A and B are shown apart, each in its own frame.
Chain A
Amino acid sequence: MTKSELAEQVSTKINLPKKETEHIVSMVFESIIGALSHGDKVELRGFGSFRIRHRALREGRNPKTGEKVKVPPKKVPFFRAGKELKEMVNNKAGSQKTAGSSQHP
């Protein structure tokens, strides 16, 4: 599912043109980005939470040359699914995944 498919689905439910719905969908995700950019966490009941994780400076290696390089410290956005969503996703584990691979005996 993409953002425009999401907007399409929501637009039929709230009786709003797709274009306007797309604008609102963008606004919702941009507001999450805004909060994260200030270092705030975002907690969404029944869905999950977004927060920033800090990665310390570390020494890495250029895999081609073997040269040591310093990887600067950075912040990484991190999502943790809520308990409800985690369970719901897993309960459907028997169902075929539509994207990516899934094996069935």
Chain B
Amino acid sequence: MVKDDIIDIVYKKVGFTHSEAVAAVELIFEAVKERLMAGEDVNIVGFGKFCLRDKKERVGRNPKTGQEFKITSRRVLTFKPSKNLKEIVNNK
């Protein structure tokens, strides 16, 4: 499934023109992105939570050469699926 399929679902179920459906779906993901970039977690009830985690600097190793290098501190995005989503996926 790609974004176009989601747009199609919205287009068929809501009385939107196609371009309105495109705008709505794009705006939803843009809004989520904006908040994440601002450093805010995004929680979608029944779906899951997009969480930001700050990682400290640490020493990594190239498994091939054994060479050590520094992994800089960074912020990563993780997704924690809701109970509902986990259950649906397992056909519960």
Binding site for B on A (CB under 8 A): 1-3, 6, 9-10, 13-14, 16, 20-21, 23-29, 31-33, 35-37, 40-48, 50, 52, 74-79, 81, 85-86, 88-90, 92-93, 95-100, 102
Contacts and interface: CB of A to CB of B under 8 A. Distances in A.
Nearest to A38: B1
Interface residues of B, number: 52
Interface in B54-92: 54, 73-79, 81, 85-86, 88-91
Interface in B7-65: 9-10, 13-14, 20, 23-25, 27-29, 31-33, 35-48, 50-54
8 contacts: A28-B6, A31-B10, A33-B46, A35-B1, A36-B89, A76-B86, A78-B79, A102-B54
Contacts, number: 153
